[in-house]
């Protein structure tokens, strides 16, 4: 049993620590107006990404899953003036909405939106010898999380921080026979991470306006 009204009230209470300015509000509104699914990170989660990027001193950020650009904006604002953020989006409409919002928010020069299936785009970046990223945020289809994790590792350096969203699935991950292929995608990622020689990992459960979920935090070793 969950108490969603209480979760919402707690997020609202702590919202004084995460004030949204006009650009953030308009980015969310543009996504809603375009009919994008309401699955973007919550403001407090966006602020967490922002603080993590600042903490690791990120100059280069990779985001897998742009949606309407809300999390992208939080991340871009953590970059220095010469920073770079590549964000990958499979849906061309989503990409256009995000690019317009990011331009309006004043971070268009820092962000490049790459359109197409992320697996293929990531393989291309790896083949091109793309400079490693300092922080990678994975918020795309959960069925491919193990593959994304391997690709993220190939685009990392020792010390790179990788954040993988939506990995608790309201507790569904504890059921090895769960019929949801998104749950099975998370479980394949956990199998990959268990005892991995180059990734140190943990998962944090969360409750809030997005319900019961959580994120994985991975640090790339030598």
Backbone φ and ψ for 116, nearest 5 degrees, come out as: 140, 170
Q: Each residue's pLDDT tens digit in the chain (222 positions)? A: 569 999 999 999 999 999 999 999 999 999 999 999 999 999 999 999 999 999 999 999 999 999 999 999 999 999 999 999 999 999 999 999 999 999 999 999 999 999 999 999 999 999 999 999 999 999 999 999 999 999 999 999 999 999 999 999 999 999 999 999 999 999 999 999 999 999 999 999 999 999 999 999 999 998
Average pLDDT of the chain is: 97
**Do the beta carbons of residue 72 and residue 31 sit within 8 Å?**
no
Can you read off the two tokens belonging to residue 21?
């300015």
Backbone φ and ψ for 192, nearest 5 degrees, come out as: -65, -40
> What pTM does this model have?
0.97
CA-wise closest residue to 2 among 44, 162, 10: 10
Domain ranges for the chain, please list them.
Answer: 4-220
User: Secondary structure of the chain: what % helix, strand, coil (to 5)?
Assistant: 45, 25, 30
**Do the beta carbons of residue 122 and residue 96 sit within 8 Å?**
no
Q: Map residue 131 onto helix, strand or coil.
A: coil
> For residue 179, what pLDDT is reported?
98
Supply the DSSP symbol for 132.
P
CA distance 44 to 24: 12
> For residue 222, what pLDDT is reported?
84
Class of domain 4-220: alpha beta
């Amino acid at each position: 049993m969950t108490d969603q009204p209480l979760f919402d009230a707690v997020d609202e209470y702590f919202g004084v620590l995460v004030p949204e300015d006009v650009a953030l509000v308009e980015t969310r509104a543009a996504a809603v107006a375009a009919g994008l699914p309401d699955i973007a990170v919550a403001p407090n989660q966006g602020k967490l990404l922002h603080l993590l990027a600042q903490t690791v001193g990120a100059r280069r950020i990779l985001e897998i899953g742009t949606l309407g650009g809300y999390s992208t904006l939080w991340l871009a604002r953590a970059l220095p003036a010469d920073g770079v953020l590549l964000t990958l989006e499979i849906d061309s409409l989503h990409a256009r909405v995000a690019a317009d919002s990011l331009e309006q928010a004043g971070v268009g020069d820092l962000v490049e939106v790459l359109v197409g299936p992320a697996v293929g785009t990531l393989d291309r970046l790896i083949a091109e010898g793309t400079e490693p990223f300092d922080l990678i945020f994975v918020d795309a289809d959960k069925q491919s999380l193990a593959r994304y994790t391997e690709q993220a590792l190939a685009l990392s350096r020792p010390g790179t921080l990788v954040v993988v969203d939506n990995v608790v699935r309201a507790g569904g991950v504890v059921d090895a026979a769960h019929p949801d292929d998104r749950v099975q995608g998370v479980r394949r990622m956990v199998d990959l991470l268990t005892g991995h020689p180059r990734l140190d990992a943990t998962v944090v459960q969360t409750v809030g306006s997005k319900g019961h979920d959580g994120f994985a935090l991975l640090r790339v070793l030598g």
